[in-house]
Structure 1
Amino acid sequence: MAMAVSSSSSSGITSSAFSRSAISSDHKVSQIGSLRLLDRVHVTPMTLNLSSGKRSFVKPLNAEPKTKESMIPNAATTAMVAEIAEEVDHHVIEIEDFEQLANKLENASPLEIMDKALEKSGNDIAIAFSGAEDVALIEYAHLTGRPYRVFSLDTGRLNPETYRFFDAVEKHYGIRIEYMFPDSVEVQGLVRNKGLFSFYEDGHQECCRVRKVRPLRRALKGLKAWITGQRKDQSPGTRSEIPVVQVDPVFEGLDGGVGSLVKWNPVANVEGNDVWNFLRTMDVPVNTLHAAGYVSIGCEPCTRAVLPGQHEREGRWWWEDAKAKECGLHKGNIKDDASKGSVNGESKSAVAEIFTSENLVTLSRQGIENLMKLENRKEPWIVVLYAPWCPFCQAMEASYDELSDKLAGSGIKVAKFRADGDQKEFAKQELQLGSFPTILVFPKNSSRPIKYPSEKRDVDSLTSFLNLVR
């Protein structure tokens, strides 16, 4: 993600995206209400010693004056202090209620939300650009006619196509994207200690923290607000409740402290297909990786194309469970499991059941243990290990139900086993569960199940595998 100033702007803004020049005394006066000025409200009135040029404070009213030269504050000083105090109080009263603003803008268009974001924060807001559909945000900002800034995180491991896309976007809009880079010492330490691909073994969080989260934190410390391309339909497990505007729950902004940064999500309520219709209509540059099946695009080692029937986020960190499909940039989306009655990291709140065909067998823990003990089965079984909240399981529901209907009466049993919550450790140790969904085939005359290795979960692919191993 990187910061840029629109060249079409008439504002004349040329400052770096994340640097701020020294504030002049005139500018300080305009910032009445800042906590830095509160001391001016409570300063004891001063006198001026004309002979020495030094200031001395008037003693408290209950003390005897030291000399007759002591002066009470003049009318101008009193008026100034009163005016500052009034403006400070006025500023406190006008703190924005962003929850109320989010409700007000819930049905607004992305263009209207973008316009409101740029209007409120001026030069202290920037668009976070990832090199995927976030180009829609830049187009919306361009359409408002307001000056805008764009930043991007260059992790050092992006696809070549993404870098070419960055260049095309800069030329199309006449802007300069400000790139934030990871700390070279931190990257060097990570690679030397754990290798280039340690995330395949122990998860992506550490690498993302070094290459993305910390550079983002530095970037946001120079802003009062940022604009993201999050959508509710991108990741049902973590993004289904994001508002169009919120106080950022994770990062700090320019003024520091909790509540110092505002986060805008103009396309939160827009579906992915509608975003793409907008991009095609406006004829803007897009990443060529999209044409190769990439939907959600991140770093090259952690992103791949998705197959028909797969959710778009399944192409990110595919070796991990759906619960972990955030890199840390939007960590605030992940709910506190302790407050949701979760078990082993999965929420046990009400979730609609999936795989509901009447031809499917629902296996209990005892049932699948009995199936594993059978050395001479009369018929082969295919079993999906699933979690109903998992978007990738939800994506294959239609094809798996169709498979069960197709194989009804064929001598092949189609079953499901819910392997989250209390059953997850058992499924990992005994059933080869790596991530959801995991598909197992229990052949005839064999005690060992065979794990389906492919992510092609359409009916034909599953049927073909069954015919080869049953």
Structure 2
Amino acid sequence: MASATASIASHTIVCRDRRATTQIGAVRHLNLVSTISQSNSTRRLTVGQLHAVEPGKRAEAVVAPTAVSSGAVAEVEKKVEEASALPPVNYEKLAAQLEYASPLEIMDKALEMFGDEIAIAFSGAEDVALIEYAKLTGRPFRVFSLDTGRLDPETYEFFDKVEKHYGIRIEYMFPDAGEVQALVRTKGLFSFYEDGHQECCRVRKVRPLRRALKGLQAWITGQRKDQSPGTRASIPVVQVDPSFEGIGGGAGSLIKWNPVANVDGKDIWNFLRTMDVPVNSLHSKGYVSIGCQPCTRPVLPGQHEREGRWWWEDAKAKECGLHKGNISQDEAEKAGTNGSVSTLNGTADIFETKNIVNLSRSGIENLLKLENRAEPWIVVLYAPWCPFCQGMEASYVELADVLSGSGVKVGKFRADGDQKPFAQNELQLRSFPTIIFFPKHASRPIKYPSEQRDVNSLLAFINALR
């Protein structure tokens, strides 16, 4: 009977089941099913049991013999029984313990606990920081990536540079050809511009990821809280994955590690520059968050990094489904529309300054009715939970300071919740933030057409119409 080895929690277990070897990408992956039997029974190690097996050791490569002696089988049976007696890991407690740990410490803990049964999810952006941290631990590590078939040429070149720099082979996962063919034949190549990106992402990203994770006990992601304050603000450094299943199947069978959850984007980039690692050349062209070519573009002044993704959609839609278990957007949108406080994590209202007028529903309705206004107005339609509104706050506050005393009034109108249908029908709201200008002699407001939200661009728009 064929045999294989799997390094689990820095311990090598001999597997005598032909089903023990599976494939993820093009690299052989070793299953956790260990058939040990004098009575032809199969025993499976649970996630919690595996973590406690001889912790603290570095992974070692062990070559399994072609024939397993009865003594070796007995030894494995003994270790299985010992592991079975140990309690499972409490990941909420572990997350609390590691909350203030460095990314390197978190990465080392993840690789120590899971060995060959964990892999880094590499997207071709700043996730290269994860690979660098893994290398610095001195432990063996694996990397996989989702090739959607629609990535930029620069991203493919970046993959090649990373492989050569670290001496690794990235395990690529591809979408099912039949599913892609059915989608394109039925709805065309660019249906996502018309009916949202979720279906295309589900075919090209989510389902391939699901297949990859079914061969793992844990995975490592580059999620950060500051990537999207409206949807990723509560990411723990380690958690039981709420969305996907691992090799054991069922709820709780997959552990998700987020070593850089608490790291600011600027600090990630300082680390990459310091370590002199390869980076995607698209970053130098204004791209920050990088995905598929048709759905990614550079961000402009005053824009949040996620605004370069699926730019034609509202803020709440800017997730592809890979991390849907960490999205808290629904809670954000339930925040009340009265008063100035958003209930999302206790975050206060934005654009709070004496030079910006907080318009009520009746106030902005009055502006709409006036055909001859004493002063022109510029107004931002916003939602406090929207990360893109938060991203332009500094420039809009500065604009208000510049325009103070100039004869142009600066206002804001919270347009989410119950006010959103009104804003869509009467104020040309399509996505947050929307900026509109009320001239002195015009019955309808004029929508700011650009997504450049720096002070100079906004001033040029105002000066052309005032």
TM-score w.r.t. the length of structure 1 is: 0.81
Match of 1:469 in 2: 465
Q: Which amino acid aligns with 1:438?
A: T
Q: Can you give the 5+ residue segments of structure 2 that lack an aligned partner in the other structure?
A: 1-11, 13-20, 47-73
Compared CA separation, residues 105 and 324, structure 1 to 2 (3 A): same
Aligned equivalent of 1:362: 358
The question of 1:329 aligning with 2:322 is answered yes
Counterpart check, 1:305 vs 2:289: no
* Distance in 2 of aligned mates of 1:280 and 1:158: 24
In the alignment, structure 1 residue 116 sits paired with structure 2 residue 109: yes
Q: Is 1:17 aligned with 2:13?
A: no
Structure 2: which amino acid aligns with 1:104? Answer: Q
Q: Does 1:141 align with 2:148?
A: no
CA contact (8 A) 1:303 1:317 kept: yes
Q: Secondary structure at the match of 1:233?
A: helix
Partner of 1:204: 197
Closer, same or farther: CA 238–92 of 1 in aligned 2, 3 Å = farther
**Offset at 1:444?**
2.0
Residues 405, 233 of structure 1: alpha-carbon distance in 2 compared, 3 angstrom cutoff? same
* Residue type at the aligned position of 1:383: V
- C-alpha distance in structure 2 between counterparts of 1:204 and 1:422, whole Å: 26
Answer yes or no: is the 8 Å Cα contact 1:17–1:149 preserved in 2.
no
User: 2:280 matched to which residue of 1?
Assistant: 287
The answer to whether the aligner puts 1:186 opposite 2:186 as a matched pair is no
Gaps in structure 1 of 5+ consecutive residues: 1-10, 36-79
Q: Which has the larger radius of gyration?
A: 1
Hey, what's the Cα distance between the residues in 2 that align with 1:313 and 1:33? Answer: 41
Distance 2:139 2:209 in 1: 24
Superposition RMSD on alpha carbons, in Å? Answer: 2.9
Superposed counterparts of 1:65-464, under 5 Å? 91=84, 93-335=86-328, 337=330, 341-342=334-335, 348-349=343-344, 350-464=346-460
Task: Give how far 1:26 is off.
Answer: 4.4
Residue 33 of structure 1 and its aligned partner are, at CA, apart by: 5.9
User: What is the CA deviation profile of residues 387-413 of structure 1, one whole-angstrom value per residue up to 9, with x for unaligned ones?
Assistant: 111121112112212222222222211
Question: Quick one: distance in 2 between partners of 1:324 and 1:184?
Answer: 26
1: CA distance between counterparts of 2:300 and 2:211? 36
Distance 2:101 2:331 in 1: 34
SS at match of 2:353: coil
Q: Secondary structure at the match of 2:239?
A: strand
1:275 offset after TM fit, Å?
Answer: 1.1
Deviation at 1:309? 2.5
TM-superposed CA distance for 1:339, in Å, is: 10
Distance change >3 Å, CA 271–CA 348, structure 1 → 2: closer
Deviations 1:42-61 (A, max 9, x none): xxxxxxxxxxxxxxxxxxxx
Secondary structure of 2:226's counterpart equals coil
TM (norm. structure 2) is: 0.82
Measured in 1, the distance between the counterparts of 2:329 and 2:457 equals 38
Instruction: Output one character per residue of 1:221-240: Cα deviation in whole Å (capped at 9) or x when no partner.
Output: 00000000111111111111
